[in-house]
Amino acid sequence: MLTRAAFYFLLTISISLHTLAAPVVSESGRPSHHHQTQAARRNSIPGRGISSRYEGGNHNVHHVHGRDVARVVSRSDSDHDKDGSDPSEPDDAVDPDSANADPDSPEGDPDTNDKGPDSNPDNSGGPSQIPFQAASDIDAKGIYAAVKGATKEPLEEYQSGQKDKMVTIYGDFMKHEGDAKAMSFIADMDVDCDGSQSCSNNPDGQSQTSYGALNAEKVPFYVIPESFLGKKDGGFIKPNSLGAIICNGKMFYAIMGDTNGDDPQLIGEGSILLARTCFPEENLGGDKGHDKLDVAYLVFGDAVPSGVSEKTIDLQALKELGDRTLRAFQKALGLGSSGSRGSQSERRWFER
């Protein structure tokens, strides 16, 4: 049996131990700083604190860069997740530094989400090729030089309409075999509006062309003096026969769609479609042509494309025939594709 003195001794020890276990309290009645919970310290970190709180419930809301991200926060240790995670730091918490990111942007930055013109495959190439333009492997430059040098076989001379400057049709290329046989000349390019009902400033235009009613605004065609056909060309040039026109550094295909019967008869003329395709910056029309004598005309009289109707033609058929014929022609000249052997072969041609 304990004595009274022993009882009071044990009671004193118990009270002392209880006092040591109690939290330190500041003058305000709150726990001192070194006894704050881990969650409280986490919320005191700049940029991660909760800026707005609904007092009536247990929802804390982050207002981050204009976006409200709601999350449930437990107010007691008994509401911890089953996996032991701290409810004050939920798995879906939003980092303010990334909250303004565009979720569709591959870099997460809305300012860099604009991919720019380089991402548009449509912005990588230039304008599409003209449907009746020669293929890129046709050496327009080398062929032009060959035409300029082909002056040994003159056939007939005609006025160009440019201050009495004369143009001669040559037959040097008639020595070629098969599809490569051609006549040639270098002239200006007046504008033919025949067959067109809407060609402006056209004082002498007609509704008909020599071989129908080809629309000069839709059909690329070139014009030959009427008197040259028959005896002077030896029957070589047929209606609608293929022509290769080299202008402004490019080659285009056309058909012989009209004849010039003026008095005097002139040479160097193309449909308004052909003329404007050759010289798009010159604003050509019925009363304005390209005056400089720098356009090469190659006439393949035996080659007539399919698909020629009363008013229009099959441009794809024209191009296919043109490419096939000009490949044979440049081979006969000894030219390589796109000028790979141009200068050497030109010298051989001039020495003939």
Residue 52 CB-density burial (10 A; 0-12 exposed, 13-18 middle, 19+ buried): exposed
pLDDT at residue 78 in the model = 42
Cα torsion 144, 170, 178, 252: sign: positive
Of 248, 300, 311, 301, the residue nearest 275 (C-alpha): 248
pLDDT at residue 218 in the model = 93
pLDDT at residue 338 in the model = 57
**Tens-place pLDDT, residues 308-339:** 988 889 999 999 999 999 999 999 999 976 54
The mean pLDDT value for 95-121 works out to 39
Cα(34)–Cα(239) distance, integer angstroms: 105
Angstrom CA distances, 146 to 8, 258, 333, stand at: 130, 26, 8
Token couple for 213: 């009613």
The mean pLDDT value for 260-279 works out to 94
pLDDT at residue 164 in the model = 84
Q: Is the pLDDT of residue 262 over 60?
A: yes
Query: For the ranges 90-94, 198-202, 278-282, which has the lowest average pLDDT?
Result: 90-94
Burial readout 147-183 (b: 16 or more C-beta within 10 A, e: otherwise):
bebbeeeebbebbbbbeeeebbbbbbbbebeebbbbb
How many beta carbons lie within 10 A of that of residue 94, not counting itself?
A: 15
Cα(102)–Cα(227) distance, integer angstroms: 75
**Tens-place pLDDT, residues 42-87:** 344 343 333 333 334 444 433 333 333 333 333 444 444 444 444 4
pLDDT at residue 14 in the model = 64
The mean pLDDT value for 148-171 works out to 95
| % of the chain at pLDDT higher than 70 | 55
Q: Is the pLDDT of residue 146 over 80?
A: yes
Total number of residues shown for the chain? 352
Higher pLDDT, 305 or 202: 305
Burial readout 274-309 (b: 16 or more C-beta within 10 A, e: otherwise):
bbbbbbeeeebbbeebbbebebbbbbbbebebeebe
Cis peptide leading into residue 264 (ω within 30°): yes
Q: Where are the domains of the chain?
A: 140-350
- The model's pTM is 0.60
Query: For the ranges 156-160, 198-202, 228-232, which has the lowest average pLDDT?
Result: 198-202
Cα(347)–Cα(338) distance, integer angstroms: 17
Q: Is the pLDDT of residue 259 over 50?
A: yes
Token couple for 54: 């609904």
Cα(97)–Cα(45) distance, integer angstroms: 14
The mean pLDDT value for 175-188 works out to 96
| % of the chain at pLDDT higher than 90 | 47
